Amino acid sequence: MVLVKRTIVKIDEELCDGCGACISPCAEGALTLIDGKAKIIREELCDGAGFCIGVCPTGALTLEERVAEEFSELEVEKNLRQSNTTYIPQKCNFCSNTEDNKYLLPIKHKGESMWCCTRCLPRLIHG
């Protein structure tokens, strides 16, 4: 294990309500839900890119700079192959279609994080 000073995701357990919205946006599969709270499975899986941050409705996710295990592309590949992370399909906040039948995009508006499907997005853009 190699420790380095780097950017990594920080989870505020007080703020996390266990909605699971952050799990699927993490391309590395670094997040999971344990006892109703989001957790980083292992530090080496989190690259600190922070795509999960924009989708958290409670502000529980931030980035911090600290000493952590070095990010490992190899460990990510292994983890994704044998992943048993909890997967919760997301819903469009405007029409309730799920990602099973529509493409969903994470969006932010006036400080709020939401999911929007490709059918609802043009209406949002053009009013």
Which residues of the shown chain bind ligand SF4 in the complex (CB under 6 A)?
A: 11, 16-22, 38, 55-56, 58, 60-61
**Can you state the percent helix, strand and coil of the chain, rounding each to 5?**
15, 30, 50
Find which of ligand SF4, Zn ion, none residue 41 binds, CB within 5 to 8 Å per kind.
none
H-type alpha helices, the chain: 73-81, 121-126
Q: Considering beta carbons, is residue 85 or 93 the nearer one to Zn ion? A: 93
For the bound state, the minimum distance from the C-beta of residue 60 to ligand SF4, rounded and expressed in Å, comes to: 4
Q: Among 69, 14, 2, 17, which Cα is nearest to 41's?
A: 69
Which residue, 71 or 115, is less far from Zn ion as judged by CB? 115
Least distance from Zn ion to the Cβ atom of residue 17, Å: 23
Q: Which residue has the tokens 């209406």?
A: 123
